[in-house]
Structure 1
Amino acid sequence: MSSTMYSRIRRWFACSLALAAIACAHAQPSSSAEPDPMPADSASDAAGTAKVRGRGVALEAEFAYAGSKRVVTVSYRVHNLSAGPLAVFDRGDRHAVATGRQTAGAIAAPAWRIEGGDVSLSHAAAPLPNPAPVSPPTPLAIRVAAGAQTAGRFEFALPGLDAPKRLRWCLGVAAFEDRDFTAPESAGGVEVWRASFAVVERQQLVCTPWFDVAANGFAAR
């Protein structure tokens, strides 16, 4: 191999590593145990409201984005369409509550990921870290009875300096099975349950379509 060709290969490899480092710096790490977004039927209207249907659940979400503050507001309603109770993972984790980073019973700050100009937000049961900490981030959930619904709202200041092109939000839900949920506590006007990390494997993520910031509406899909 010529010295010129060898130099070109070295420059290409260095640039590839640099680009990978930049991408990692702008995204939260994810676990292989995190479920994929579930394929769902969805619809949207000009008012910025998306309607998504998953297995035994329907989600309505409305987005409002304030460009001057880089803040997105998400208002949502979850309908339990299944024959049994549903666990909704939008209340954070027990460690965050114990350390004062999360108010008991309140809707937690979402996890986030940036890919290019797209920002994905999510509320979901996260897997147990490895190695496991002394005080594990036990997922917290509310219980929605069969045929019932719950509503919530949160605001999130987007990280970074660049304006987002598209936004979406995913919500983790799972069938509420008694063996996986313990220690219910009343806080913030709701009953919050501690979930086993086993629910991470069987939860489904119900995601909104992409919200186009420039068009101020959801993209049809």
Structure 2
Amino acid sequence: MMKRLILHAAIFLAFGSPVAARTDANVAALDAPARTVMRLQDCGVVEVDLDFDPSISVVEVSYRLINMDSRAIAVFDRADLNMVVQGRQGLGDVAVPHQTFTNPGDLEFIHKSHEAIPDLETPTVDMAVVVAPGDVLKGKFRDGRWGFENRPILRLRWCLGTMVFDELTFYSPVQSDQGQIWHARISAPETQHISCTAWYDVARRDFEP
């Protein structure tokens, strides 16, 4: 009996309490971002990690897009030309996503090519990064819910605009640290595909099935 107690004490000193170890693992799991896989209509997939802190109303998203098609894919997650010219973002930076409530409590963050706004003095020129067949695109952004401070958020999701690349829709490529960036023509919104993650449940801190 004494030998067994000595053995248990030695294990405790060497590795700590098994119960405590399980508790620490559970805490780490709660602090980890939720993960989901978003399928693109353009024959690609996006692995998405999302974390939302309701106390400061900030969402953090990191993603990894894999082009599984035999054609290049244009991804509309980059800052537009106006943001770059004004010095508000760098060439090739991930854009600040547009925010909108689709339903009460449901907040959507979206990167896409935007429709032209009539009579705008300086028209917006969307920019896209092109992902070659078999290549991987990594990106991340951190954003707050500006203008929505008094509206509760129950669920949120991220949406992304993509399309098969063609040189009729894009022009004037420029090289950046993030890859080759192309300017999009005003026809891009008509042919892009919008894909969205499942809804992230704020209370559960996880994506819905």
Q: TM tier, shorter chain?
A: 0.7 to 0.9
The letter of the residue matching 1:167 is L
Instruction: Give the TM-score normalised by structure 2.
Output: 0.79
Unaligned runs of at least 5 residues, structure 1? 1-45
Secondary structure, aligned partner of 2:162: strand
The letter of the residue matching 1:203 is Q
- Structure-2 separation of matches of 1:125 and 1:157: 21
Deviations 1:78-127 (A, max 9, x none): 11122110000001211221122332111010001023111000000001
Secondary structure, aligned partner of 2:168: helix
Secondary structure, aligned partner of 1:179: coil
The letter of the residue matching 1:68 is S
1:171 Cα offset (Å): 0.3
Give the 3 Å change call, closer, same or farther, for CA 174–99 of structure 1 in structure 2. Answer: same
Among all aligned residue pairs of Structure 1 and Structure 2, give the percentage whose two residues are the same amino acid. 32
Give the 3 Å change call, closer, same or farther, for CA 74–85 of structure 1 in structure 2. Answer: same
The letter of the residue matching 2:180 is E
Deviations 1:45-70 (A, max 9, x none): x9611112122121111111122211
Q: Give the counterpart of 2:39 among 47, 53, 64.
A: 53
Residue matched to 2:145? 158
Q: Give the counterpart of 2:57 among 70, 75, 78.
A: 70
1:99 aligns with 2:86: yes
Unaligned runs of at least 5 residues, structure 2? 1-31
Give the 3 Å change call, closer, same or farther, for CA 105–69 of structure 1 in structure 2. Answer: same
| Contact 1:113-1:121 within 8 A present in 2 as well | yes
Higher-Rg structure is 2
1:85 aligns with 2:76: no
- Structure-1 separation of matches of 2:131 and 2:80: 18
Deviations 1:147-168 (A, max 9, x none): 2110100000113223410010
* Number of residue pairs the alignment of both structures matches: 174
| Contact 1:88-1:143 within 8 A present in 2 as well | yes
Alignment of 1:11-30 (within 5 A): none
The letter of the residue matching 1:180 is T
Q: Give the counterpart of 1:116 among 104, 124, 136.
A: 104
- Structure-1 separation of matches of 2:134 and 2:178: 20
